[in-house]
Structure 1
Amino acid sequence: MPAYDELMAFQRETEALRQVMGRLNWDQETVMPKGAAQQRADELGALESVLHARRTDPRIGDWLGAVDPAALDDVGRAQLRHIRRSYARAVRLPETLSAEIARVTSRAQGIWAEARAADDVGHFLPALTDVVRLKREAAAALAEGGDPYDALLDDYEPGATAEGIAAIFDRLRPRLVELRERIMGAERTPAALAGRFDADGQWALAREVATHFGYDWRHGRLDRSVHPFTSGAGTDVRITTRVDEQEPLGCLYSTLHEVGHGAYEQRIDPAYLLTPLGSGVSMGVHESQSRIYENQLGRSRAFCDWLFGRMTDLFGAAGAPDAEAFHAAVNRVHSGYIRTEADEVHYNLHIMLRFDLERDLIAGRLEVSDLEEAWNARFEADFGVKVDRPANGVLQDVHWSVGLFGYFPTYSLGNIYAGCLYTALRAAVPTLDDDLARGHAERATAWLRESLQRHGGLYEPAEVIERACGFAPHEGPLLDYLDAKFEALYGL
Structure 2
Amino acid sequence: MTAYDDLMAFQRETEALAQVAGRLGWDQETVMPRGAGPQRAEEHAAMAGILHARRTDPRIGDWLAASVPADAVAERQLALIRRDFDRAARVPARLASEIARTTSTAHGIWAEARAREDVASFLPILERVLQLRREEADCLRGEGSRYDAMLNDYEDGASAARMGEMFDGLRPRLVALRDAIRQAGPAPALEGTFPEEGQLKLSTELAKAFGYDMTRGRIDRAVHPFSSGSGLDVRITTRSDPLDPFNCFYSTIHEVGHAAYEQGIDETHLLTPLGQGVSMGVHESQSRIYENQLGRSRAFTGWLYGRMIETFGDLGLDGPDAFFAAVNRVGEGHIRTESDEVQYNLHVLLRFDLERALFADDLRVGDLEAAWNDRFAADFGYPVDRPSHGLLQDVHWSEGLFGYFPTYTLGNVYAGCLHAALRADLPDLDAALARGDTAPATGWLREKVQRHGGLRPPRETIVHATGAAPSEGPLLDYLEAKFGAIYGL
TM over 0.5: yes
Aligned to 1:178: 176
Aligned 8 A contact 1:335 1:346 in 2:
no
How far, CA to CA, are the matches of 1:293 and 1:318 in structure 2? 24
Aligned 8 A contact 2:186 2:331 in 1:
no
Give the CA deviation at 1:377. 0.1
Matched, 1:330 2:327: yes
How far, CA to CA, are the matches of 1:136 and 1:93 in structure 2? 12
Give the CA deviation at 1:319. 4.9
Give the CA deviation at 1:12. 0.4
Q: Which residue, out of 142, 159, 162, partners 1:161? A: 159
Counterpart residue type for residue 134 of structure 2? R
Give the CA deviation at 1:145. 4.2
Aligned 8 A contact 1:261 1:287 in 2:
yes
Of the structure 1 ranges 381-390 and 119-128, higher mean CA displacement relative to structure 2 is found in: 119-128
Counterpart residue type for residue 453 of structure 1? Q
> Aligned runs of 1:287-436 on 2, under 5 Å?
287-436=284-433
Give the CA deviation at 1:325. 1.1
> Aligned runs of 1:75-474 on 2, under 5 Å?
75-186=73-184, 188-474=185-471
How far, CA to CA, are the matches of 1:53 and 1:318 in structure 2? 57
Counterpart residue type for residue 63 of structure 1? W
Counterpart residue type for residue 205 of structure 1? L
Partner SS state of residue 121, structure 2: helix
Give the CA deviation at 1:68. 2.7
Aligned 8 A contact 1:97 1:138 in 2:
yes
Aligned to 1:54: 54
What's the CA shift string for 1:328-377, capped at 9, x where partnerless? 11111123100001011101100100000011112221111111000000
How far, CA to CA, are the matches of 2:257 and 2:126 in structure 1? 30
Partner SS state of residue 202, structure 2: helix
How far, CA to CA, are the matches of 2:357 and 2:306 in structure 1? 47
Runs (4+) of structure 1 exceeding 2 A deviation are 317-321
How far, CA to CA, are the matches of 1:203 and 1:39 in structure 2? 32
What's the CA shift string for 1:22-77, capped at 9, x where partnerless? 000000000000000000000000110000000111111111111234xx201100
How far, CA to CA, are the matches of 2:299 and 2:322 in structure 1? 13
How far, CA to CA, are the matches of 2:403 and 2:195 in structure 1? 37
What's the CA shift string for 1:362-400, capped at 9, x where partnerless? 222111111100000000000001000000000000000
How far, CA to CA, are the matches of 1:334 and 1:394 in structure 2? 20
Aligned to 1:6: 6
Aligned 8 A contact 1:135 1:362 in 2:
no
Aligned to 1:16: 16
Of the structure 1 ranges 362-371 and 233-242, higher mean CA displacement relative to structure 2 is found in: 362-371
Counterpart residue type for residue 117 of structure 2? D
Counterpart residue type for residue 434 of structure 1? A
What's the CA shift string for 1:105-131, capped at 9, x where partnerless? 001111111111111111211111111
Partner SS state of residue 277, structure 1: coil
How far, CA to CA, are the matches of 2:279 and 2:84 in structure 1? 13
> Aligned runs of 1:24-35 on 2, under 5 Å?
24-35=24-35
Aligned 8 A contact 2:262 2:276 in 1:
yes
What's the CA shift string for 1:185-219, capped at 9, x where partnerless? 11x42132100000000000100001000000010
How far, CA to CA, are the matches of 2:283 and 2:46 in structure 1? 29
Counterpart residue type for residue 309 of structure 2? T
How far, CA to CA, are the matches of 1:61 and 1:95 in structure 2? 17
Aligned 8 A contact 1:319 1:326 in 2:
no
Aligned to 1:478: 475
Question: TM-score with structure 1 length normalisation?
Answer: 0.98
Counterpart residue type for residue 89 of structure 1? R
Aligned to 1:36: 36
Partner SS state of residue 121, structure 1: coil
Counterpart residue type for residue 135 of structure 2? E
How far, CA to CA, are the matches of 1:319 and 1:394 in structure 2? 35
Aligned Cα root-mean-square deviation (Å): 0.9
Question: TM-score with structure 2 length normalisation?
Answer: 0.99
Partner SS state of residue 228, structure 2: strand
How far, CA to CA, are the matches of 1:473 and 1:142 in structure 2? 27
Of the structure 1 ranges 362-371 and 255-264, higher mean CA displacement relative to structure 2 is found in: 362-371
Partner SS state of residue 274, structure 1: coil
Aligned 8 A contact 1:30 1:223 in 2:
yes
How far, CA to CA, are the matches of 2:332 and 2:190 in structure 1? 16
Unaligned runs of 5+ residues in structure 1 are none
Aligned to 1:64: 64
Counterpart residue type for residue 431 of structure 1? D
Counterpart residue type for residue 136 of structure 1? R
